[in-house]
Chain A
């Protein structure tokens, strides 16, 4: 992995993660929903922590939510990220409940606030991957 390029998802991702990334290619944000108790979960997990079921559907969610917490990064992990600094990483609480981590783009980092409404945007990246990021609504 070159430190001069941003990271991509690992090719050897476990099977149960793949539907999430397949949905992204269709520009759909999906999370696991338990077929027994209906609890939604992200990131993908082998088992439902609410009821222990291994039954999974992939439910399409709105991609809308609000900033739960965030940081403005001034010192990135590698040269590829350092070139973008300062940039924002946000934990977004989706309207449907689960929290998702990604970059918050299209915003002055100094203007980011907890509670700010945001929505998902899809970014087609190298090697056939589609990534998900968030931007402020309106």
Chain B
């Protein structure tokens, strides 16, 4: 069987994630290799089958962080045939899976791992320290932004404020997103926030203001965790295992400078989505489950609009009434997303892992009935880098 990107067919064959939250009592290396081995085993393969790596695998891997492909070769006991890094922030892992599928379908590798890890006693963001993360993330823009005491929350808050002005979107509508995602997190035992229980719209609206109009419960968490996805050539896999394929893929990269962006309510995501849906040959209405980067609630709302699941400006009404919960009209981020499941490392990977679980029918009590088609959208920066993928179960 030939694939969409080359003469062979690739399968998203294995996924694994650790409990998300505090992994400071573990070493980075031990968590990393645990999760890589678990994902490879989930694919029915062995570590020595791995011949490709996407990612830098470096953060927190200490002295072995440099030359990540060779670090991996040391551990799997064979030279790799393919390595690439991505530099698109939180979207890197989701982006990497597209690259892995292309490499396998072109015959450049047979078994590619896409890992991410944040664990151990590292300081700052990797260590899950909120103050350090907020200070570090505030400096990601240019001096023309951070001189004034902006933060990552504020970078999205000005977008939310403008969306409210142009389209009448309300804080209650944004809160619906956080509420729906937490319902899923409660049913994902590996999630960071599930054990805190469900939340209400009122809980969100009375949580601490961070940067108006966004509040604490509109915001992603700061946590540790690890995950890994394995992409493998179909011919290497057991016939009887569930197969999830990437059938559509597209990228788009918009303006870095918010002063130059022609709009602060419409971004480049639609360009990525259009390419992915065109290649997949399916329509938005056929999608059963969505994974959308959700650093803040507003990302989901605008992301769904830009990706074409509703008209621009109608996102507020679209998410009302629990529409995005696992039992809603368009189940989205059903394990909790960055808000309630995990925002660790290259966190786009966790968005993807949940959609794969849903398509395999292994999502347990939060399972979306008969999910066959999924859409994954990874964002890097502030709505800047977009990676869209359509996934299908055989």
Contacts and interface: CB of A to CB of B under 8 A. Distances in A.
Contact of B135 (A42, A45, A78, A131): A78
Interface string B147-185: 111110110011101100100000000000000000000
Interface stretch (B255-263, B311-319, B361-369): B255-263
Contacts of B146: 7, 77
A81 B157 CA distance: 17
Contacts of A45: 257, 260
A7 B161 contact: no
Interface string A62-98: 0000001111111111100100100101010000001
A69 B211 contact: no
B208 interface: yes
**Centre residue among B145, B146, B147 by max chain A CB count within 10 A:** B147
Contact of B158 (A75, A77, A91, A100): A91
Interface residues of B, number: 34
A75 B153 contact: yes
Interface string B199-232: 0000000001111111000000000000000000
Nearest to A114: B165
A69 B158 contact: yes
Nearest to A81: B149
Given A71-B211, A100-B259, A76 B151 contact: yes
A91 B259 contact: yes
Interface stretch (B41-49, B53-61, B96-104, B136-144): B136-144
B174 to A, nearest CB: 14
Given A6-B149, A114-B162, A71 B157 contact: yes
B152 to A, nearest CB: 9
Interface string A32-48: 00000000011101000
A70 B162 CA distance: 8
Interface centre among A10, A68, A87 (most CB of B within 10 A): A68
Given A13-B143, A77-B138, A91-B264, A71 B154 contact: yes
B259 A99 contact: yes
Contacts of B148: 89, 101-103, 133
B134 interface: yes
Given A74-B209, A74-B211, A69 B151 contact: no
Range class of the A interface residue count: 35 or more
Contacts of A13: 143
Contact of A7 (B134, B143, B260, B264): B143
Query: Among the interface residues A8, A71, A98, A103, which one has the most CB atoms of the partner chain B within 10 A?
Result: A71
A89 B150 contact: yes
Contacts of B264: 68-69, 91
A42 B259 contact: yes
B144 A101 contact: yes
A56 to B, nearest CB: 15
B149 A89 contact: yes
A126 interface: no
A3 interface: yes
A10 B213 CA distance: 30
A89 B158 contact: yes
Interface in A4-37: 6-10, 13
Interface string A94-120: 000011111100000000001000000
A118 B120 CA distance: 48
Contacts of B138: 77-78
Given A9-B143, A77-B134, A101-B144, A71 B149 contact: no
A75 B151 CA distance: 8
A49 interface: yes
B157 to A, nearest CB: 4
A130 to B, nearest CB: 12
Contacts of A41: 260
Contact of A43 (B158, B212, B257): B257
B259 A101 contact: yes
Contacts of B165: 69, 114
Interface string B124-140: 00000000001100110
Interface of A: 3, 6-10, 13, 41-43, 45, 49, 68-78, 81, 84, 87, 89, 91, 98-103, 114, 131, 133
Nearest 5 A/B pairs, CB to CB: A77-B138, A81-B149, A71-B157, A69-B162, A72-B212
Given A45-B257, A101-B145, A102-B148, 11 more contacts: A42-B259, A73-B149, A74-B208, A75-B151, A75-B209, A75-B210, A77-B134, A78-B138, A87-B149, A89-B158, A91-B264
6 contacts: A10-B143, A43-B260, A68-B162, A71-B211, A77-B139, A77-B149
